[in-house]
Amino acid sequence: MLPFIAEEIWVPGQCVIGLQWGDEAKGKLVDLLTEGKDLVVRYQGGANAGHTVVIGDDVYKLHHIPSGILNEGVLNLITPGVVINPPTILAEINSLAERGIVVADRMKISCRAHVVMPWHVLEDKMWNELVSGEDNIGTTLRGIGPCYGDKIGRSFAIRMGDLIQPDFADRVRRIVAVKKQVLSAASGNQDVALDAEAIISEYTEYANQLKPMITDTNRILLDAVDADKNILFEGAQGSLLDIDHGTFPFVTSSNSSGVGISTGSGVPGNWIEKVIGVTKSYATRVGGGPFPTEQENDKGQHIRDMGNEYGTTTGRPRRCGWFDAVAARYTARLGGVTSVALTMLDVLSKLEEIEVCVAYELKGERIDYFPSHVNDLRNLTPIYETLPGWQIDVTGARSLDDLPLGAVQYARKIESLIGRRIEFISVGPDRAQTIHIPEGKSLEAHLKAKTA
Ligand code: GDP
Ligand code: IMO
Ligand code: MG
């Protein structure tokens, strides 16, 4: 058990979700919390995710595979809410094998999970090209939206279980015939690069390789729940990218907030005891869409440089800005968050002053809620409070006592604005660069003792 994490953390049903627009360091948290777990479950999203785990000199970038894979003795599940790109997941499995991690022994994939097919990637690219300017979503081009679209539409969907059914070939032929017509009409190109027979033989081969891992994960998960096993759920993306509750249409196509745990995995919602909401000490976003506290200036560039804020999946520079407490409070409440992990505190260490958005001004009025419409989100003005920086390197801190008072005061301010207890503070990418604040201890009590 990691020495700096107190025992009370090991409860049976626990989830890690992002409270912002993704890349909050969920992968780091999941890896940390995997110890002592029986199962780690990825329940939504697909290869659009990029979760980084740093263990000493080893850096792992995981897209499809749950971040629990690096711990032996843990079963990793990919459940029905995930969309899977077979060649991509196989490449990930092979690259882990080259590093000595045999995924097949420790991972199962739901036969209900939908398959990202070549036409989905073509559609994603084409729909992105057809919409320009500020309406462009700027997706990861991994075929995510079109695949989820076909899942909801049903008629043109393929699930992992279908890959190994006798009617797979006919299904592909039927779908390709329609997709070619649609893509030709949309692009004006009569020669859409979709060859049904080539796809059938390619995907049959992928299915052969993945077959030992494809199963009904609902049965495994419900049996595990009955047996009171320790299960950790790994959210992908961030709550503000949630298809129903995020900054629509600039979102991903799954329920990436806390409300998606149950639908994506197949466990009853009331069984999840603990939801850890992960948030950066500032804010970032990749792709298009409103970002009220964005700093398109030297402050934003400073954060990007200090935090190495470039996308794990696409390498795109991440848009950077100040912490938005209105948004984080909204997503923490939406997701039933029980405690918060505040990450990247080290990134702010050089700043003299740090701004925190505490409310918005919209149409001349001060508001403290997160607006639902993209036009309101675009037109509001953040109201900031300015806090002093601490200007001391915190990357070596391992307890609250090691942190400068200014850094604890900053964290406490964020905690009080979100309205949820901060349980973890992360001061660097490595597992060890983490401060755990167990129940019974608090930032407030720490500050009182220090300033008495
Ligand atoms: P995820 O998608 O939420 O898992 O996050 P990503 O892995 O895409 O992005 C987080 C990045 O920040 C990764 O490169 C991590 O290694 C790194 N990271 C995690 N925690 C910290 C931290 O506390 N400080 C710094 N400087 N980097 C961190
Ligand atoms: P992790 O799990 C950050 C963003 C894309 C785009 C929008 C829609 O690493 O936090 P999509 O390809 O999903 O249709 O793109 O969502 N996006 C992410 N941004 N982190 C992610 O995942 C993301 N997954 C999708 O940039 O704006
Ligand atoms: Mg990421």
pLDDT at 216: 97
From residue 212, alpha-carbon distances to 109, 110, 209 in Å are 9, 11, 7
Give residue 343 CA to ligand 1 midpoint distance, Å. 8
pLDDT at 269: 86
Ligand located closest to 241 CA: 2
Among this protein's residues, is 23 annotated catalytic? yes
Mention every residue, 6+ apart, whose C-beta is less than 8 A from residue 69.
Answer: 40, 62, 76, 96, 101, 103, 106, 107
Give residue 216 CA to ligand 2 midpoint distance, Å. 27
By the CB criterion, residues less than 5 angstroms from ion ligand 3 are 23, 50, 312
Question: What number of residues does the chain have?
Answer: 452
pLDDT at 10: 57
Helices marked H in 342-396: 374-379
Q: By three-state DSSP, how is residue 204 classified?
A: helix
pLDDT profile of the chain (452 residues), mean per 10: 60 91 96 93 97 92 94 95 98 95 94 98 93 92 98 97 96 97 89 94 97 97 94 98 98 97 93 95 97 98 96 87 98 97 98 98 98 97 98 97 97 98 97 93 95 84
- Give the CA radius of gyration of the chain: 22
Out of 31, 51, 346, 446, pick the active-site residue. 51
pLDDT at 166: 95
| Residue-wise DSSP of 117-155 | -HHHHHHHHHHHHHS-GGG-----SSSHHHHHHHHHH-T
Report the DSSP pairing between strands 353-362 and 365-367. Answer: antiparallel
pLDDT at 315: 85
Helix or strand run (H / E) with residue 110: strand 107-110
Alpha carbons 278 and 342: distance in angstroms, whole number: 6
pTM, two decimal places: 0.96
Q: Which two tokens stand for residue 351?
A: 């700043």
Within 10 angstroms of residue 445's Cβ, the number of other Cβ atoms is 12
